[in-house]
Structure 1
């Protein structure tokens, strides 16, 4: 029987987190061309935010899922943004993302966080997944972006 556990992150596992992140986001539905080394830098930078929060889900000591985010003060009080919720392709469809999100929301409620936000695909299974937890489209904001370099 495997041992599964949710625990706080460990900075000495950043390379493993990068491997997990790149494998998960390089496949459906995102198909982002992440390299593991770049993903490890991304995760490390998020973890270095002073108000960062990160949970890992392990199966027999191996990182199988990761939830990253941070809080910040806003006019309405302290808010939280989930930056990434990722599950290794080898462990998807086993409830790991649900367990990580439930633990995160419980922790944030205990910390007195006023609201939680995230960005996700606007259609498909990911939006439906978050709606099950009470997330709704904001309607007040939109993501805007501008490409500065087209050589990548």
Structure 2
């Protein structure tokens, strides 16, 4: 499968949102995203100054997305990778790896010293991120509070 990585623009907002909806609908997440919620999520990153929004394209079709927000931390600027999603039928073709690499290189070129993300501690996704050079933090936990 051939693809190219480029900056994501509003022109491909619906294609990017469709990737998010479809990628999260199956295992391991099994989440029921509406297209409206996904459009809002992607658009929020696109509207955020200094964000990194990349997509993998085959022709005009969006195959995968990587959405990161630049943040200032004590040790300097970092990119928090909010989303990395690839269409289910395009997974396993190197798209996720290429997007991660492009995010890291873009962040580095823009003066960021690291890329952070939150994902599963075990399983295929954990193995994937570690294979791509990411390390599991030993001193951080994910906390959440819900009204429902």
Query: Secondary structure of the residue that 1:112 maps to in structure 2?
Result: coil
- The 5 Å alignment of 1:80-99 reads 80-99=79-98
Query: Secondary structure of the residue that 1:107 maps to in structure 2?
Result: helix
Query: What's 1:116 paired with?
Result: 115
Query: What's 1:73 paired with?
Result: 72
Larger Rg: 1
Q: CA deviation at 1:87?
A: 0.2
Query: What's 1:36 paired with?
Result: 35
Query: What's 2:47 paired with?
Result: 48
2:17 matches 1:4: no
Query: How many angstroms apart in 1 are the aligned matches of 2:93 and 2:133?
Result: 21
TM-score for both structures, normalised by structure 1: 0.91
Query: Secondary structure of the residue that 1:121 maps to in structure 2?
Result: coil
Q: CA deviation at 1:3?
A: 5.2
Query: How many angstroms apart in 2 are the aligned matches of 1:4 and 1:137?
Result: 29
CA contact (8 A) 1:15 1:37 kept: no
State the superposition RMSD in angstroms: 1.3
Q: CA deviation at 1:133?
A: 2.2
Unaligned runs of 5+ in 2: none
Q: CA deviation at 1:15?
A: 1.5
Query: What's 1:144 paired with?
Result: 143
Are the structure 2 counterparts of residues 62 and 5 from structure 1 closer, same or farther at C-alpha, using a change threshold of 3 Å? Answer: same
Query: How many angstroms apart in 2 are the aligned matches of 1:77 and 1:96?
Result: 29
Query: How many angstroms apart in 2 are the aligned matches of 1:111 and 1:44?
Result: 21
Query: How many angstroms apart in 1 are the aligned matches of 2:15 and 2:97?
Result: 21
Q: Which runs of 4+ in 1 moved over 3 A?
A: none
Query: Secondary structure of the residue that 2:78 maps to in structure 1?
Result: strand
